[in-house]
């Protein structure tokens, strides 16, 4: 007891005597020491929480119900007038379109037919020819469009109702969207009878799957694309606010699916989707799905799980399907349909996809839903709210706000940054192993950290990535894909092997290159991930999964086979995609025709980052 009192007294006395500044410095040092000592655990905890959070995104316990933020929209508040007479019109258009299909009409014949039909309705219409040149060959077609100037409006604002000739079924596998096109024609006939439109109505029937709309939108906005030759549009209207894309490939449909992801990870304003969902449910009586798969309740749940959890597991399975599809579209920057092209011009757009079924819905339901949705978007007086562009729809009626998913990737990135900074600061010191060591105390000596060669190595991997990208965009690569892939993989994986020739350095003077490279590699990867989170969360999340652990565990070794083995693993992670030939071809097509930057991003950012980790293993300790 006395001893304790004495120690406490000594401590208090010492504190009183001490300079308060020194005390503060000591406090700081103590805090840093506690954190650094436990940094490893903090890092692991951050990784763990981040990955668990990602896994929890589809959970029904996360997220909230959808709501309409913009009160002016007033979805589903109007009487609809679309009726059976209009359905009969749509049927008649369908017959003619089927005739065109059976006659194997060319793009130009089709577009001329559509233009004539619009003109017969008294709506100014025109066609547009376009040719895209790409390494995979030319893509050409003819769009037809019509501009209905609304009464008493100045023509400064417009809404688009569009349908592509080829449906989005199987990502444009060639299924025709005949019913979607006839819906647009019948709607044109119907909508012109009303004087209540506050914005011009633009009807676009784009050729093929996505390329037709890309050509039309580029011409409409005067955007130049070096590989596109398109006619100028003869008819113009004003600023397009919203676009509804109708995709109705089957005979009838049971549900309407929302497809909303745009190219390069852009999303439309959620108010538009929520309004459509409400209108479809209450005005049209059609249930809405996110994408085109239903909630299948036949999931096999192992019997050992208590039955109380079955419902939750089923909900989780269904939602995770939606989330995975969302991630797939958004991370690859691939739009989930024709609507995806609108977002780059600040136009809110989505595709309503009639899920093919034997019933019960058809033209009557879709016409009413489109009419009511147009009335809703017609009410719009200003841009939709800026905060409604970040969301993940887990079901049509539930979504995650940005705050409930963004931190997951940020946590991983923070963990990587901590790891990188730790290595960086460790590199500056080396324990003094000389004989002058005092007993019981480590002595550390400072050493230099040569950054320039490390940055040189990083830069050269990125240049290698750029060369790789220019190689795979050549016509030669597309034509001899199997051979070229092997060749490119060999070349790209051989060049870093030159790191084996790097001489071993005196570790007491300068930090080893491999450690510095790992530090900078981790910091850079972490920065990339945290920046990408707000641009394209799905891509950031994929990067966090692919880079988080692998980059943190890279380490050099003294044994050559282990070094080579590790490097081979990293090369596989960096370049394995080159053998996914179909996926690669699509990504390149998206880049060349639509300007999706996923392919160059992978080549110039992702692959070099992983190669750097591979180099860490190759470089001498």
Binding site for other proteins (CB under 8 A): 10-11, 14, 18-19, 21-22, 25-26, 29-30, 116, 119-122, 124, 126, 149, 151-157, 192-193, 195, 221-223, 232, 236, 238-239, 344-346, 381-383, 385-387
Contact of 246 with 370, CB cutoff 8 Å:
yes
Q: Residue 69 CB, nearest distance to other proteins (Å)?
A: 10
Per-residue 3-state assignment (H helix, E strand, C coil) for 42-58: HHHHHHHHHHHHHHHCC
Calpha distance 577→458 (Å, rounded):
21
- Residue closer to other proteins, measured from CB, 197 or 318: 197
Q: Residue 425 CB, nearest distance to other proteins (Å)?
A: 19
Q: Residue 68 CB, nearest distance to other proteins (Å)?
A: 15
Matching residue, tokens 């080893």: 512
- Residue closer to other proteins, measured from CB, 18 or 463: 18
Cα dihedral 165→167→172→173 (10° resolution): -100
Report how far apart, in Å, the C-alpha atoms of 568 and of each of 50, 290, 476, 563, 574 are.
28, 40, 26, 9, 10
- Residue closer to other proteins, measured from CB, 19 or 582: 19
- Residue closer to other proteins, measured from CB, 106 or 116: 116
Token pair of 418, please? 């901590």
Calpha distance 81→69 (Å, rounded):
27
Q: Residue 30 CB, nearest distance to other proteins (Å)?
A: 6
Q: Residue 169 CB, nearest distance to other proteins (Å)?
A: 30
**144 sits in which H/E element:** strand 137-148
Calpha distance 174→11 (Å, rounded):
82
Q: Residue 527 CB, nearest distance to other proteins (Å)?
A: 20
Strand pairing of 200-206 and 157-164? Answer: parallel
- Residue closer to other proteins, measured from CB, 242 or 552: 242
**Helix boundaries (H) for 201-309:** 211-220, 270-279
The number of residues in the chain equals 621
Q: Residue 481 CB, nearest distance to other proteins (Å)?
A: 35
If we measure between CA atoms, which residue out of 616, 605, 461, 496 comes closest to residue 553? 616
Helix axes 363-378, 84-102, angle to 10 degrees: 110
- Residue closer to other proteins, measured from CB, 344 or 485: 344
Q: How many CA atoms lie within 13 A of 309 on its CB side?
A: 10
- Residue closer to other proteins, measured from CB, 90 or 147: 147
- Residue closer to other proteins, measured from CB, 10 or 459: 10
Rama region for 199: left / alpha / beta (φ>0; ψ in -120 to 50; rest)? beta
* CA 538 and chain centroid, separation: 5
Q: Residue 2 CB, nearest distance to other proteins (Å)?
A: 18
Q: Residue 347 CB, nearest distance to other proteins (Å)?
A: 9
Q: Residue 366 CB, nearest distance to other proteins (Å)?
A: 24
- Residue closer to other proteins, measured from CB, 17 or 358: 17
DSSP letters of 151-164?
TT--S-EEEEEEEE
- Residue closer to other proteins, measured from CB, 1 or 381: 381
Within 8 A by CB and 6+ apart from 156, the residues are 238, 239
Q: Residue 526 CB, nearest distance to other proteins (Å)?
A: 22
Token pair of 415, please? 């963990």
Q: Residue 158 CB, nearest distance to other proteins (Å)?
A: 10
Specify which residues 134 forms β-bridges with: 137
Calpha distance 462→415 (Å, rounded):
24
- Residue closer to other proteins, measured from CB, 345 or 390: 345
**Helix boundaries (H) for 59-168:** 84-102, 107-120
Calpha distance 42→23 (Å, rounded):
26
**129 sits in which H/E element:** strand 125-134
Calpha distance 45→39 (Å, rounded):
10
Token pair of 514, please? 């491999």
Q: How many CB atoms lie within 10 A of CB 4?
A: 8
Q: Residue 184 CB, nearest distance to other proteins (Å)?
A: 18
Q: Residue 467 CB, nearest distance to other proteins (Å)?
A: 31
Span between the terminal Cα atoms of the chain, in Å: 53
E-state strands within 365-463: 391-395, 398-401, 429-431, 444-446
- Residue closer to other proteins, measured from CB, 149 or 314: 149
Residue 557, exposed/middle/buried by CB under 10 A (0-12, 13-18, 19+)? middle
- Residue closer to other proteins, measured from CB, 9 or 576: 9
- Residue closer to other proteins, measured from CB, 22 or 41: 22
Q: Residue 219 CB, nearest distance to other proteins (Å)?
A: 10
- Residue closer to other proteins, measured from CB, 384 or 602: 384
């Amino acid at each position: 007891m006395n001893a304790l009192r004495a120690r406490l007294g000594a401590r208090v006395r010492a504190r009183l005597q001490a300079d308060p500044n020194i005390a503060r410095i000591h406090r700081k040092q103590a805090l840093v020491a506690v954190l650094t000592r436990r940094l490893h655990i903090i890092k692991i905890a951050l990784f763990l929480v981040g990955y668990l959070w990602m896994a929890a995104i589809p959970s029904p316990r996360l997220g909230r119900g959808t709501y309409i933020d913009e009160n002016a929209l007033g979805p589903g508040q109007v009487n609809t007038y679309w009726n059976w007479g209009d359905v009969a019109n749509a049927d008649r258009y369908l017959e003619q379109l089927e005739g065109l299909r059976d006659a194997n009409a060319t793009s130009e014949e089709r577009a001329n037919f559509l233009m004539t039909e619009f003109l017969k309705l008294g709506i100014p219409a025109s066609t547009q020819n376009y040719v895209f040149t790409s390494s995979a060959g030319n893509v050409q077609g003819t769009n037809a469009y019509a501009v209905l100037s609304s009464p008493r409006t100045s023509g400064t604002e417009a809404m688009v109702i569009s349908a592509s000739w080829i449906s989005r079924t199987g990502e444009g596998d060639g299924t025709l969207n005949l019913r979607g096109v006839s819906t647009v024609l019948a709607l044109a006939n119907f909508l012109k009878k009303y004087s209540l439109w506050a914005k011009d109505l633009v009807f676009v029937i784009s050729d093929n799957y996505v390329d037709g709309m890309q050509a039309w939108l580029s011409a409409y906005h005067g955007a130049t694309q070096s590989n596109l030759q398109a006619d100028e549009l003869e008819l113009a209207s004003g600023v397009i606010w919203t676009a509804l894309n109708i995709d109705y490939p089957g005979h009838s449909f049971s549900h309407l699916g929302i497809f909303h992801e745009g190219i390069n990870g852009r999303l439309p304003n959620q108010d538009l989707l929520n309004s459509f969902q409400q209108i479809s449910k209450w005005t049209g009586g059609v249930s809405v799905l996110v994408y085109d798969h239903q909630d299948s309740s036949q999931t096999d749940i192992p019997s050992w799980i208590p039955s109380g959890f079955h419902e939750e597991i089923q909900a989780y399975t269904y939602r995770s399907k939606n989330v995975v599809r969302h991630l797939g579209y958004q991370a690859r920057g691939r739009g989930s349909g024709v609507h995806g092209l609108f977002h780059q011009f600040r136009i809110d757009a989505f595709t309503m996809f009639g899920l093919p079924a034997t019933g019960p819905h058809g033209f009557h339901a879709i016409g009413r839903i489109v009419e009511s949705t147009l009335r809703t978007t017609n009410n719009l007086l200003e841009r939709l709210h800026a905060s409604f562009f970040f969301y993940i729809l887990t079901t049509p009626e539930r979504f995650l706000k940005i705050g409930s998913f963004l931190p997951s990737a940020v946590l991983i990135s923070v963990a990587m940054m901590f790891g990188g900074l730790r290595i960086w600061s460790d590199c500056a010191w080396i324990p003094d192993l000389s004989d002058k060591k005092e007993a019981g105390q480590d002595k550390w000596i400072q050493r230099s950290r040569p950054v320039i060669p490390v940055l040189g190595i990083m830069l050269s991997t990125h240049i290698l990535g750029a060369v790789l990208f220019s190689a795979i965009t050549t016509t030669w690569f597309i034509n001899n894909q199997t051979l070229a892939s092997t060749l490119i993989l060999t070349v790209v994986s051989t060049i870093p092997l030159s790191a084996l020739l790097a001489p071993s350095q005196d570790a007491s003077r300068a930090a080893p290159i491999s450690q510095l490279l790992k530090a900078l590699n981790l910091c850079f990867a972490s920065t990339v991930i945290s920046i990408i989170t707000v641009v394209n969360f799905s891509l950031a999340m994929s990067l966090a999964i692919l880079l988080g652990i692998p980059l943190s565990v890279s380490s050099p070794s003294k044994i050559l086979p282990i070094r080579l083995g590790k490097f081979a693993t990293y090369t596989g992670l960096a370049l394995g995609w080159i053998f996914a030939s179909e996926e690669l071809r699509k990504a390149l097509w998206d880049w060349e025709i639509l300007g999706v930057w996923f392919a160059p991003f992978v080549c110039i950012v992702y692959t070099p980052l992983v190669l750097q980790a591979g180099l860490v293993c190759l470089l001498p300790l």
